Structure 1
């Protein structure tokens, strides 16, 4: 299981519930429904149950299963990140850097399977056995499309970060501030706040790794273009 599994489940559930409550409450206010608060709360609960089911299945069941069994490059890289040594990966020791296609397909299979299972289970529980297949197919397709959109946003961010130059200056504080109520609440959820210096160091590390990855991808693209031009000349 990946180290960020619990954080992903918590963050995904909270974000889904918050967005659903906001949209439902805003709709209730726009239609002048006096029960807009109840509508928002009900939407938050329903979407939260759906989200925790989906993310729980993906992070604790499907992803560990796929990472430990599939020989595809995406899962070989994820095994290496987790420090899992597999004899079947020896032939892939010269695995190159991920391509843009690899980044676009990141976790799409995990998400699709998890969406099918979560959608079928929840729809079957709410509406009966006849709703299992339609619910599974619909939720699976929606989750896959959302994952593809999320990956595309990540690629856009990656390209943007690679173009950043310069560093950020963060003033150093003389004494650590006392924890606020929100920080204590996040601590109970297993989320730990970081200092400005730690956050800056993490941003620099992330930026450097993204720049290095993009440079490798650009070098690979140039090599492929040179190879294609040579083949065209020979033909």
Structure 2
């Protein structure tokens, strides 16, 4: 993957992840406000902003770690797909710990750095493990799914008894019948054309006799 593609993918991941965090924060804040009978607008905006700050910081740090790890793969002859699970786990854990430590230091002071880093690092690692497990299960389910059989008509599963005067015909027999019918129609058309031509000749001869 080129540098431009990697930057584009990173930007999309950060934007989408931050948007989801803001949406989740707004929904959570509104729900809590309703349950506590508190100002809905204030709780919604405050929680959305806090989750947005955490989400943006987390995904920026995560993608930075992930890109740094994946940049080493060509040196060892590895593909990104071979190390993706490990890279995602390490990046999510380090990003969670870094983000948790930084935001805890801002909101709670220096004493909250270590507890915040441990708590958010563990939470993000657990969430990444769940996501990776679910994604693997989904891929295995897709790969292990049986091929979809060609849709058949209801008549294909119906078998006529041996004593019945009616029988099912095969596709080849049906095509042969169509060809025979087509040839018959062509012969009839030629016969009609011949008769029309003969009638025209007779009409011309009769006009000549009258003259």
CA distance in 2 between counterparts of 1:164 and 1:135 reads 47
Structure 1 gap ranges (5+) = 70-75, 77-84, 167-235
In structure 2, stretches of 5+ residues that fail to align are 149-211
The answer to whether residue 133 in structure 2 is matched with residue 152 in structure 1 is: yes
Distance 2:146 2:51 in 1: 37
The list of structure 1 runs, each at least 4 consecutive aligned residues, that deviate by more than 6 angstroms after superposition, is none
Quote how far apart the aligned CAs of 1:45 are.
Answer: 0.3
- In 2, Cα distance between the equivalents of 1:38 and 1:105? 40
The aligned residue for residue 183 of structure 1 is none
Give 1 or 2: higher helix fraction.
Answer: 2
Higher RCO (Cα < 8 Å, 6 or more apart): 1
Match of 1:67 among 32, 52, 70: 70
SS in structure 2 at match of 1:4: helix
Larger Rg: 2
TM-score (norm 2): 0.59
Could you state the TM-score of these two structures normalised by the residue count of structure 1?
Answer: 0.54
Q: Which of 112, 116, 122 is the equivalent residue of 1:131?
A: 112
The answer on 1:10 being equivalent to 2:15 is yes
Which structure 2 residues correspond to residues 1-235 of structure 1 after superposition, within 5 A?
A: 2=6, 3-33=8-38, 35-59=39-63, 61-69=64-72, 76=73, 85-86=74-75, 88-89=76-77, 105=86, 107-162=88-143, 163=145, 165-166=147-148
Work out the CA distance in 2 between the residues paired with 1:164 and 1:7.
34
